[in-house]
């Protein structure tokens, strides 16, 4: 079965019409782009932040939906630079890389403890230093997938898309396809050359190593992107939950050299991605990944949520809600709908045997909460396209109230969510 899919997909890829390519992945300015995240040691390195105050940006014509007015890039101000140098001298730490977080008025660095000093001892010492705004371990994170195992009825594999069918997405597309909604995907990179993602990707950024090469081997992000926004009505492959939405890709995860190893991320790469999203008008953030609680990442999530954005996160395989990002209030946590009973407020969505896009123009099945979360992000895009002022709480409640039983399981339903929103809109007119 898998071989047939790949052969069919290869044929489709060869016959694909040429379209305007998305913008090339961009290398961030500053020292951070020069250091590969894969070389960092999550068992020993720390993340430290010092105050880096900036003047408030002037508002001007062209501000985004969320009121953001882009400003010039800034790095470490004189005060931050002096503080960091003094701290490094005081404690004998060695800097790996540094980057500014404008939204929090902080400058962050990844540091190595001095030889002979444990990370715990260094963090304890820094906790009592009033020059330090934040000091914490560099944490590791991973993606949640187990790997490969209607209006769009001209897309040949639509009938094999379990999630698309079970959520009645084709019915929802009569009223909304996600037009005008930007979804930020924080994940591995995405194969932008995939025929079913042509025209759907607005911009791409590499937070891992600054390499501007294409992401044509990054499987996990390509899978997530296909579930959310694979092109519809193009006579090839599949169709996404919100096929008219556009995607912003933030590569914060990478594949270790070990064979069959899953993608991993860390505090450094995720913080850079979340900080960059704050400077955009993306309304939805998909996080099909997770790991331990993290003070810096939590600060950034709070800022993103307070901006009125919707953050959708995959539940860990063990069902825990104690780590990043599912432990942040306001985040929409998503589990696979055919596992044990969910906790109150957790959204259920299809996540097993999900057919989606693969690098190299192919298609295959994959499973995990990493695939459940983008189904919810796609439905959120359908709703925002109809009602752009919806906030995370309203969408969360709408998803829960409109969930339906499908094949014996209660899970989100795109058609009933759209119908409920349209009914509410008509009742208020």
Q: Secondary structure of the chain in the HEC alphabet?
A: CHHHHHHHHHHHHHCCCCCCCCCCCEECCCHHHHCCHHHCCCCCCEEEEEECCCCCCCCCCCCCCCCCCCCCCCCCCHHHHHHHHHHHHHHCCEEEEEEEEHHHCEEEEEEECCCCCCHHHHHHHHHCCCCCCEEEECCEEEECCCECCCCCCCCCCHHHCHHHHHCCHHHHCCCCCCCCCEEEEEECCCCCCCHHHCCCEEEEEECCCCCCCCCCCCHHHHHHHHHHHCCCCCCCCCCCCCCCCEEEEEECEECCCCCCCCCEEEHHHHHHHHHHHHCCCCCEEEECEEECCCHHHHHHHHHHHHCCCEEEEECCCCCCCCCECCCCCCCEEEEECCCCCCCCCCEEECCCCEEEEECCCEEEEEECHHHHHHHHHHHHHHHHHHCCCCCHHHHHHHHHHHCEEECCEEECCHHHHHHHHHHHHHHCC
Q: Do 93 and 160 belong together in one domain?
A: no
pTM: 0.84
Q: Are residues 218 and 264 in the same domain?
A: yes
Find residue 109's DSSP bridge partners: 48, 98
Residue 396 located in a structural domain: yes
Which of 117, 138, 159 is the C-terminal boundary of a domain? 138
Whether residues 263 and 398 fall in one domain: yes
Q: CB-side exposure of 389: number of CA atoms within 13 Å?
A: 1
| Domain limits for position 70 | 43-138
* Positions in the chain short of pLDDT 70: 1-35, 55-74, 146-156, 158, 212-213, 258-260, 339-342, 429
Asked if 276 and 416 sit in the same domain, the reply is: yes
* C-alpha span between 316 and 323 (Å, rounded): 9
Question: Does 95 share its domain with 149?
Answer: no
Q: Are residues 114 and 207 in the same domain?
A: no
pLDDT score of 20: 38
Residue 282 lies in a domain: yes
The whole-number pLDDT of residue 360 equals: 92
Catalytic annotation, residues? 187, 220, 370
pLDDT at 423: 86
Q: Answer whether residue 411 is part of any domain.
A: yes
Domain check: are 328 and 195 in the same one? yes
Same domain as 392, residue 357: yes
Residue 30 lies in a domain: no
Last residue of a domain, one of 114, 138, 162: 138
- Mean pLDDT estimate for the chain: 84
pLDDT for position 2 = 39
* 148 domain residue, yes or no: yes
In this structure, is residue 32 part of a structural domain?
no
Buried-exposed string 95-112: b where 16+ CB fall within 10 A, e elsewhere: bbbbbbbbbbebbbbbbb
217 and 121 within one domain? no
User: What pLDDT is attached to residue 33?
Assistant: 42
Q: Are residues 58 and 200 in the same domain?
A: no
Structure tokens at 85: 């140098």
Supply the pLDDT for residue 171: 95
Q: Same domain, yes or no, for 238 and 302?
A: yes
Give me the pLDDT at residue 55, please: 56
Domain membership of residue 38 (yes or no) is no
């Amino acid at each position: 079965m898998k071989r047939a899919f790949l052969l069919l997909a290869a044929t489709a890829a060869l016959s694909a019409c040429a379209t305007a390519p998305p913008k090339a992945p961009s290398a961030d300015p500053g020292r951070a782009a020069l250091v590969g995240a894969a070389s960092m040691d999550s068992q020993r390195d720390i993340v430290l932040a010092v105050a880096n105050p900036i003047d408030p940006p002037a508002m001007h014509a062209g501000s985004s939906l969320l009121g953001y007015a882009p400003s010039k890039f800034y790095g470490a101000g004189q005060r931050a630079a002096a503080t960091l140098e003094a701290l490094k001298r005081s404690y004998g730490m060695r800097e790996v890389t540094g980057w500014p977080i404008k939204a929090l008025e902080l400058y962050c660095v990844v540091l190595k403890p001095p030889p002979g000093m444990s990370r715990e001892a260094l963090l304890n010492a820094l906790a009592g230093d009033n020059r330090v705004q934040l000091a914490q371990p560099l944490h590791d994170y991973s993606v949640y997938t187990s790997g490969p195992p209607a209006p769009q009825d001209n897309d040949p594999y639509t009938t094999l898309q379990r999630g698309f069918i079970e959520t009645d997405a084709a019915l929802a597309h009569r009223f909304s396809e996600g037009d005008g909604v930007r979804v930020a995907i924080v994940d591995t990179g995405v194969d932008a050359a995939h025929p079913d993602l042509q025209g759907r990707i607005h911009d791409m950024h590499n937070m891992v190593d600054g390499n501007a090469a294409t992401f044509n081997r990054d499987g996990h992000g390509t899978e997530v992107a296909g579930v959310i926004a694979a092109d519809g009505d193009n006579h090839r492959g599949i169709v996404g939950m919100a096929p008219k939405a556009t995607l912003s890709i933030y590569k914060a995860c990478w594949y270790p050299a070990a064979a069959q190893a899953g993608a991993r991320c860390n505090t450094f790469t995720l913080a850079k991605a979340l900080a960059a999203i704050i400077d955009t008008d993306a309304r939805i953030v998909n996080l099909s990944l997770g790991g331990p609680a993290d003070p810096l990442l939590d600060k950034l999530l709070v800022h993103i949520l307070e901006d009125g954005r919707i953050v959708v996160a995959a539940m860990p395989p063990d069902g825990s809600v104690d780590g990043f990002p599912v432990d942040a209030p306001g985040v929409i946590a998503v589990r696979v709908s055919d596992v044990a009973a969910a906790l109150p407020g957790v959204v259920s969505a299809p996540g097993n045997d999900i057919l989606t896009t693969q690098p190299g123009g192919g298609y295959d099945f994959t499973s995990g909460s990493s695939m459940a979360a983008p189904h919810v992000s796609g439905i959120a895009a359908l709703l925002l396209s109809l009602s752009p002022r919806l906030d995370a709480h309203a969408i969360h409640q709408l998803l829960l109230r409109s969930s339906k039983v499908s094949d014996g399981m209660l899970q989100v339903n795109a058609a009933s969510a759209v119908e409920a929103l349209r009914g509410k809109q008509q009742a208020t007119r």
